[in-house]
Chains A and B, each alone.
Chain A
Amino acid sequence: MEFRVTGQKIDPAQLILAIGDTRVGACVTFEGRVRRQNEGRSVLSLDYEAFKPLAEKEGQRILEEARQKFGVLDAVCVHRTGSLKLGDLAVWIAITAEHRGAAFDACRYVIDEAKARVPIWKKEHYGDGSTEWINCATRGPGVSGPGPAG
């Protein structure tokens, strides 16, 4: 059970080798990637910034909650910081369980909670040269409702 924040490229093929044992009947993984478009704007690149000690602590709490709620066997999440290009992996999650239902549910729980609670920030660079810290606008449609999906 580990939540890690890293400035290094995420390598799922390497990470998956450490996941699971013969109790496992289901392994669900999730990849969050840098998309070329957000809210109708053309995205060129992203910067991620983290408050690392608290991000890893809060992330660990989320993984522990997932274990308690869904009875999963293991949960691992790795999140990038730094400058990312289109197509780069921003976040990777692996959940193992005896059965698929718990693994799918826990994976969804971990990514949703991580996006809402873990102190990591995303700055988008757009095709028109402008930039924006996502969810940090002080006016406009994003302010009262939930932030844009990522």
Chain B
Amino acid sequence: MNKSVSVSYYAILREQRGLGTEEVPTMAVTASDLYEELRARHGFTLPASRVRVAVNDDFQPWGVAVEDGDRIAFLPPVAGG
């Protein structure tokens, strides 16, 4: 089923995408599918194994289902402090 999600990128992913947030129509079933779809499209250098995903402002496992209207964020390795 086709759905639309809001995708946010941070740090190196934001720079590689060239924007911070976008609406993405997708048929991806899981967050992992969605990342691989976008990685192929935009040439992200980080493999999913080094990225975390948040859905509606909370961390989720990569296998989480993507639902229409979700706010999805892809988070590169963190480096605060």
Q: B80 touching A57 by the CB < 8 A rule?
A: no
Contact-size category for B = 20 to 34
Residues of B contacting A91 with CB < 8 Å? 80-81
Stretch in contact with the other chain, from B6-14, B26-34, B61-69: B6-14
Q: How many A-B residue pairs have CB under 8 A?
A: 80
> A115 and B79: CB pair below 8 A?
yes
Please tell me the number of chain A residues within 8 Å of chain B, measured between CB atoms. 31
Is B80's CB under 8 angstroms from A54's CB? no
Please determine whether B80 and A79 come into contact, CB atoms closer than 8 angstroms: yes
A120-B80 CB under 8 A given contacts A51-B73, A136-B46, A138-B46: yes
Within 8 Å CB of A54, what residues of B?
54, 57-59, 73
CB of A53 closer than 8 Å to a CB of B: yes
Cβ-defined partner of B80 (8 Å) among A48, A123, A136, A138: A48
A20 contacts partner chain B, Cβ-Cβ < 8 Å: no
B45 within 8 A of A: yes
B79 CB contact (under 8 Å) in A55, A135, A138: A135
Q: Which residues of B contact A (CB under 8 A)?
A: 8, 10-12, 14-15, 45-47, 50, 52, 54, 57-59, 73, 75-81
Q: 17 additional contacts, CB 8 Å, given A120-B81, A122-B80? A: A49-B10, A51-B8, A51-B75, A54-B57, A54-B73, A55-B80, A58-B59, A115-B79, A115-B81, A116-B78, A117-B78, A120-B79, A121-B80, A133-B76, A135-B76, A135-B79, A150-B81
Binding site for B on A (CB under 8 A): 32, 48-51, 53-55, 57-58, 79, 90-91, 111, 114-123, 133-136, 138, 147, 150
